[in-house]
Structure 1
């Protein structure tokens, strides 16, 4: 119980959940379990929109269609949008720090061996 009151990095605190239930209207939920709300107005008059993450608070876990809705790029929720095109890949969360992270050739995690420099490279010498 104390963890839910004081920690925000692994999910919403009790205060955020209460605020969302009392001041917002539930708009939808994505396939990851994140819940989206709308309520009130921003200082420029647009509707205030926010997300309650299921699990860790990581913005890369918001699918592109919901990201567009959150940032007022569209007023349509993903269930009102046309189906994704066949060539579109599904969104992935940020993989930095995991085994699936991108590691270019020469990275220490891949052995640290890079291709030799090309012939136009000349090492600097202080002489």
Structure 2
């Protein structure tokens, strides 16, 4: 319970949950389990538009928001992806959150995190030597 009061990075705080429950309307959920809400009115608006929120599923990381939901959150699209999904192109890859700092992060050959040895430098590199 204390983490809901004092930490925002482990999900929404208690204050955010209460605000969304009182003032928000559920709009949809994405493939990562993040839930999206829109305000019932423009009472707490900065610019006359209804506020929009995302409640992250687990750790709050902005890269966990897919491009279509990102566009809706930032008022690029007026309709949420649940009502008007973006068309997928054949060349588009599936959205992945930022995996840096996780066990799934990419570690190139020779990386210390991978435990390997770096390949020896080729002849096109000349080490700097102080004079």
What TM-score do the two structures reach when normalised by structure 2?
Answer: 0.79
Alignment of 1:12-91 (within 5 A): 12-39=12-39, 40=42, 42-79=45-82, 80-91=84-95
Instruction: Give 2:121's match in structure 1, choosing from 113, 117, 120.
Output: 117
CA distance in 1, matches of 2:65, 2:2: 27
Aligned-CA RMSD value: 2.2
Shift of the alpha carbon at 1:33? 2.2
Q: Which of the two has greater helix per residue?
A: 1
Structure 2 residue aligned with 1:103: 107
Q: Which runs of 5+ in 2 are unaligned?
A: none
Asked if 1 retains the 8 angstrom alpha-carbon contact of 2:26 and 2:38, the reply is yes
What TM-score do the two structures reach when normalised by structure 1?
Answer: 0.81
Shift of the alpha carbon at 1:26? 2.0
CA distance in 2, matches of 1:32, 1:120: 45
